[in-house]
Amino acid sequence: MEYSGKQIAIINAATKLFAEKGFDGASVRDIAHEADVNVAMISYYFGSKEKLMEAVFEDKTNNIKLKVENLLQDEGISHLQKVNILIDDYVDKFIHQQEFHKIMMREQLIDKNTPVACLIHELKKRNLESIKKLIQDGQKSGAFKKNIDIVLMMTTMVGTVSQMITAQHFYKKVNNLEHMDEMEFQKLMRKKLSAHLKNLFKQILTTDEQR
């Protein structure tokens, strides 16, 4: 699907406003104004507000697939290193596409099987499959221990990053970073999250639980 300049403007405006205000909180007039186009263009191009949301998803998810596939075949790096690369990749993606991820978070909270909910489901499933392979490879080689709840592990990765993004104002405040430059803060978050998750994952993947 190739989009025109105006269509891209609409999608970006929608991404921003859906992230900020939610689907119901952002009116098509808001979006049209933000995109600097006529209100009617949204129906004209996308059919409806719902379809626009789907377009936002399809547009943003194209760039969001984790680069696990290439990692799997690479034999020059250790299994743990692969996981660490994955973490870096995920954290980066999340931080650089905060708006879209906020939309995803919101959509997952909705108690209905919207078309978008299905798209999210498939996206997550695909990601999970890839990671599963990566972990299982490590398990076969003996690098990782057995009995790893991969879904739970992923829940911690996704959850921790999501929560950090969601509550970044809070994080800034309690760490007295309120006046830090936005870019610098993102770098900091990236570094902290990355190290934190790598540490946790090493624990999950390699240390036997002692009860």
Partner DNA sequence: CATGAATGAGTGTTCATTCAT
Partner DNA sequence: TATGAATGAACACTCATTCAT
Positive or negative torsion for Cα 160, 105, 80, 204: positive
**Residue of the chain from 20, 22, 34, 41 that contacts DNA (CB under 7 A):** 41
Shortest reach from residue 72's CB to DNA, in Å? 40
44 near DNA (CB under 7 A): yes
- The answer to whether residue 151 forms part of the interface with a second copy (CB under 8 A) is yes
54 interacts with DNA by CB under 7 A: no
Rounded Cα distance between 115 and 71, Å, is: 31
Please provide residue 209's backbone torsions phi and psi, each rounded to the nearest 5 degrees.
-65, 135
**Residue 43 near which of DNA, a second copy, none (CB within 5-8 Å, type-dependent):** DNA
Query: Which of the choices a second copy, DNA, none does residue 167 contact, using the CB cut-off of 5 to 8 A by kind?
Result: a second copy
Q: Does position 1 bind DNA by CB under 7 A?
A: no
Tokens of 75: 């034999």
Give the nearest distance from C-beta 175 to a second copy in angstroms. Answer: 7
Of 154, 122, 121, the C-alpha closest to 135 is: 154
Instruction: Indicate whether 28 belongs to the interface with DNA (CB under 7 A).
Output: yes
Tokens of 85: 């690369």
Cα gap 9→60, rounded to integer Å: 13
